[in-house]
Structure 1
């Protein structure tokens, strides 16, 4: 399976988080990556947390980048706030403060990197791998041959006569 990459920029408004999260999942699906419900949910949650944190804690545009290689997706969110992300310590009734803990739970790896005018926060998500192309071609030949046999001439009963 080939590798894919894309990026897009949002202005940094809170109402852009949901469409950006949806775009992340739809882009990965458009690449032909087989996402089951569990992986799609994890991807939505990680994208939502990283994008929301960038929108809330920074000002200005937010860049979302996706890098896919078979079995892995790297989601990178860059903003203009150079401060390190800080994991919250949420109490039971708190509605926020769990984002980075959730990202760490669903991501294989995650981290951040400062640059001159901001930072990028990234998470690597494990994705299902499609069956290898060799296997798919073997299955296609098997079923194509089977279909040809089923559409061939219908055998007729033979009558034997004794002389």
Structure 2
């Protein structure tokens, strides 16, 4: 989990509207058409992060698990509420990983769920914000992207 300063309270109700860091380089990309492919995405993402960590000498167990969880939540949202195909990309900068999930529904803006009771759904973006350094979204002419950044070095 990302540690926030003591007393820090998230009161932001909207996501940052901007592309991920522009200097991010692509490591892998996966196309998904439905939720049956999420299990495979989790395994391939974990494998890609661990392979990168092996070459970088970092131990990324907790970071990798957080990334897999957030990628699954964002991809589930895109599959459920967007238009396929959904593309999940793993990017990196010198000090961060970026998960970027794109779908083709330009009519809906990603929104943080309000005060729904636990178990009522709609908490994926809140979870992403809690487990990552930063979460944002942007749109191109054909796709809507939601992204989250994670530290490469614990």
* The structure with more helix, counted as a fraction of residues: 1
Q: CA deviation at 1:30?
A: 1.2
Q: 1:122 to 1:98 in 2, by over 3 A?
A: same
Q: Tell me if structure 1 keeps the 8 A contact 2:27–2:92.
A: no
Q: 1:27 to 1:93 in 2, by over 3 A?
A: closer
What are the residue-to-residue correspondences of 1:117-156 with 2, within 5 Å? 117-128=142-153
CA distance in 1, matches of 2:71, 2:36: 14
The equivalent of 2:132 in structure 1 is 107
**In angstroms, what is the RMSD of aligned CA positions?**
1.9
The equivalent of 1:92 in structure 2 is 118
Q: CA deviation at 1:76?
A: 0.6
What number of residue pairs does the alignment pair up?
126
Q: Which of 67, 74, 77 is the equivalent residue of 1:53?
A: 77
Structure 1 unmatched runs, 5+: 130-163
Q: Which of 56, 72, 96 is the equivalent residue of 2:96?
A: 72
Q: TM-score, normalised by structure 1?
A: 0.69
Q: Tell me if structure 2 keeps the 8 A contact 1:71–1:126.
A: yes
Deviations 1:19-47 (A, max 9, x none): 11221121111122534432222111111
Q: 1:35 to 1:51 in 2, by over 3 A?
A: farther
Instruction: Provide the secondary structure at the position in 1 that maps to 2:80.
Output: helix
- Compare CA radii of gyration and give the structure with the larger one: 1
Q: TM-score, normalised by structure 2?
A: 0.73
CA distance in 2, matches of 1:8, 1:36: 20
Q: Tell me if structure 1 keeps the 8 A contact 2:96–2:149.
A: yes
Q: 1:93 to 1:48 in 2, by over 3 A?
A: closer
Instruction: Provide the secondary structure at the position in 2 that maps to 1:51.
Output: helix
Q: Tell me if structure 1 keeps the 8 A contact 2:50–2:60.
A: no
The equivalent of 1:62 in structure 2 is 86
